[in-house]
Structure 1
């Protein structure tokens, strides 16, 4: 049974699989307003850097559809679309794919001559970005799988699968391709607090594809890596910096430190759209989520009232702790600034 699509465009309407209620219920929410799309991104209806970028592009299509009955000059359209763009851009700060997709929309808006052309071109672009992502993920999966030894146990964190992308997945794309090739003996999935993406989403995705998966609490990672000796920790990324540092779901940095001690390799699987060649890891903005996400668990209070909280959504793993970054164009071994920038320059 295949994992359902996280994002569907049908009859000029955006449908998002509500990932907040998986795996108990599989329900789609329907959107025809770009500001509602921005809230869906902020509120985790859709999550994962590539999926956020795709959703942002469709959000701009919805904004153009609202304006389509009022054809105007390029300048007028740019002004009218700017409010929707700003709302979407402000939805989540760390995932660079969001801004990559919006920048591609900006180019289309600037290039077109009138409102009708802008709408058609934006719609074509969003559909193209969506389709491209699936192909990109499959290429990432195959490149990454080439690094996995036969009869491997691997460990993954958060959800970088079909639900976080246009389909197939980045980190889970590697696992899917390796499983297809008969290399995967088992997968450990960390639960990923506080939203439990590993428990609710990754475990569910892998079970849909009959890939053997074992769910583990975050605090068990060091014990499990020592006892079971996985060949790789495989994760996605929300931003890869010019120096090879990678931002991913909070807890990834912990895993990389544990992996270094125990001799387990670390793989970051991410499309080149997730790279930010203009900053280094320390400059990556880290989203701070609301405190009630950790003082409460899905609506139930689990901490004292008025407790001070710290709830960063991401951390940054230094390049020195990463053995390979896998993109749709190949593998960056032992990433550093020179290798990252050369990879990007060769694959523009």
Structure 2
């Protein structure tokens, strides 16, 4: 069985000749074009422009930005203290590219805490940490997918929203290996169409029957028994079980609850230990023109305003389970993730 391109981060984000290559996800699946980043600021803009999508992949991309900044600063022969101050500014810049996501900030802070400043070769130290993070992320995605496959039954009709990342693809891959016949319904996920361009395309590469719907069709599909389970990812999970994910997740969970359908969250590395409640999660508001325009063409009148919160918050009582690399948790007990090894 063919493994989709997006099952492995190294396929779409990697270093080449000292520059960071981001295979631009905004153009999938019709084009495969590379965005070449020469320094950390170009990496930051690439993240902000949505050239890379998916919480884990964004985090790895930001880490590469930190590496490139360290590499360039070390060439300037500045003092260790000046290097640390300058890199702290870079870290803040990268962190603020997508403030809602937990993984980006968590990875940058983990790398920062492990740097031994007196040792020097800071860029090389960061590269070692990035290699470890990529390997850890790949394993985490695979384990999360294995746990998720266990809740699937033969004949399940799975609804997805946005791009839930490689764990979803591993889930479908393992289910097919085990002889489970599945089908997928993917919401297109306006305005960047991650569901159409990434999820539906990747699932189809696995040979899974896929149907694409617009975002406002999900409740109808639920009411006509076209859906049996709902799966999304999470950009951040609070310790109380509240889930921040692509805007539209909350309304899907409400509709699923009304139709008595289970909602599962692919939670990968668990909740944010520093976020006690969902109300503490910052919501990113993006440029309103991303709603009032499509592919650079305005789709409404000049006097019409747009509004684009990139994420929403789904309360734990609407969620059946949070699936992680350490097992499946009830949302109100998701904090137990940190007690389980």
**TM-score, with normalisation over the residues of structure 2?**
0.93
Residue 3 (1) aligns with residue 4 (2): yes
For residues 71-124 of structure 1, what are the alpha-carbon distances to aligned partners after superposition, in whole Å with 9 as ceiling and x for unaligned?
A: 555423211212221211111111111101110121133x232432x1211001
Distance of 1:308 and 1:88 partners within structure 2: 29
2:221 to 216, 220, 224: 224
Q: Displacement of 1:48 after TM fit? A: 1.1
Write out aligned runs for 1:292-303 (5 A): 292-303=289-300
State which drifts further: 317-326 or 204-213: 204-213
For residues 44-90 of structure 1, what are the alpha-carbon distances to aligned partners after superposition, in whole Å with 9 as ceiling and x for unaligned?
A: 01111101111111111111110232455542321121222121111
Residue 283 (1) aligns with residue 280 (2): yes
State which drifts further: 43-52 or 219-228: 219-228
Aligned 8 A contact 1:241 1:275 in 2: yes
Residue 234 of structure 2 aligns to a residue in which SS? coil
Residue 344 of structure 1 aligns to a residue in which SS? helix
2:120 corresponds in structure 1 to: 115
Aligned 8 A contact 1:96 1:273 in 2: no
* Equivalences, count: 335
Residue 264 of structure 1 aligns to a residue in which SS? coil
Aligned 8 A contact 1:234 1:267 in 2: yes
**TM-score, with normalisation over the residues of structure 1?**
0.91
1:166 corresponds in structure 2 to: none
Residue 306 of structure 1 aligns to a residue in which SS? coil
Distance of 1:196 and 1:274 partners within structure 2: 26
Q: Displacement of 1:33 after TM fit? A: 0.3
Q: Displacement of 1:175 after TM fit? A: 2.7
For residues 288-344 of structure 1, what are the alpha-carbon distances to aligned partners after superposition, in whole Å with 9 as ceiling and x for unaligned?
A: 1111111111111111113122111111110000001011111103x11xx222221
1:165 corresponds in structure 2 to: none
1:134 corresponds in structure 2 to: 138
Distance of 1:11 and 1:330 partners within structure 2: 40
For residues 220-267 of structure 1, what are the alpha-carbon distances to aligned partners after superposition, in whole Å with 9 as ceiling and x for unaligned?
A: 101111213533100001000010010111111111011111111000
Aligned 8 A contact 2:239 2:271 in 1: no
Q: Displacement of 1:268 after TM fit? A: 0.2
2:210 corresponds in structure 1 to: 213
For structure 2, the residue ranges without an aligned partner over 5 or more in a row are 6-10
Distance of 1:274 and 1:306 partners within structure 2: 41
Residue 268 of structure 1 aligns to a residue in which SS? strand
State which drifts further: 268-277 or 278-287: 268-277
Q: Displacement of 1:153 after TM fit? A: 1.0
Q: Displacement of 1:152 after TM fit? A: 1.1
1:40 corresponds in structure 2 to: 46
State which drifts further: 281-290 or 317-326: 281-290
CA RMSD of aligned residues (A): 1.7
